[in-house]
Structure 1
Amino acid sequence: MARILVADDDVDIRELVEFKLSTMGHDIVAVGDGAAAIEACRAEKPDLAVLDVMMPGVSGLDAIREIRADADLAGLPVILLTARAQEADVETGFDSGADDYITKPFSPRELAARVDALLARTP
């Protein structure tokens, strides 16, 4: 299956996402902040990243901007998973380079379906 980076500062959310995606057969790399997410993307070369927007230090939005600016990572599919549900927040997420945007609280089944759909579209 795929190698997926999960970045969320909330341990419970991170472990839930990690558990759901690992039961689907994916190899999960889990980190707790945006800076670690960028480092892990460069080191691990994941097939997809799931990033929280609001993390201490480097936010998910800043992380995705750095990922998109890196020629080796620019094509990495990224899902933003966040409590920020206002229309302007969603627009900012997509403007930052997100491929999908899921708001918390979320359904693990919906997350799984969106991960599968995004991976299916990725060459």
Structure 2
Amino acid sequence: MGVVTPFPASGRPGQIGFDRPELNRILDLYGRMVAAGHWKDYAMELGRDAAVFAAFRRAAERPEFRIEKRPALRNRQGMWALIGEAGQVVKRGHELGPVLAPIERRLMKLVED
């Protein structure tokens, strides 16, 4: 038999990323917003301090929302933050679900119209 080399679990050392359940939750919301015709594009940035998921109405403008994961803030305000288009913090918390709630409420309004 050959030697099996283990796959690195988190990419580069010190890089922050999204876990599979977190990314599934974010991409599920993104897919529903695309189906409603509201979002058109997204981008992800995985860095040493934070992992950021940005959702765009159109590709050539600022993101409408950014979902940030900053583990350094885990014991303070919470590691999750929802940042609006102008850079204001819309919601911050310790768990992803409540942080995504304002977008999900907006989706309900979009479908209701």
| Same fold by TM-score greater than 0.5 | no
Larger relative contact order (CA 8 Å, sep ≥ 6)? 1
Q: TM-score, normalised by structure 1?
A: 0.37
Structure having the larger proportion of residues in strand: 2
TM-score, normalised on structure 2? 0.39
Of the two, which has the highest radius of gyration?
2
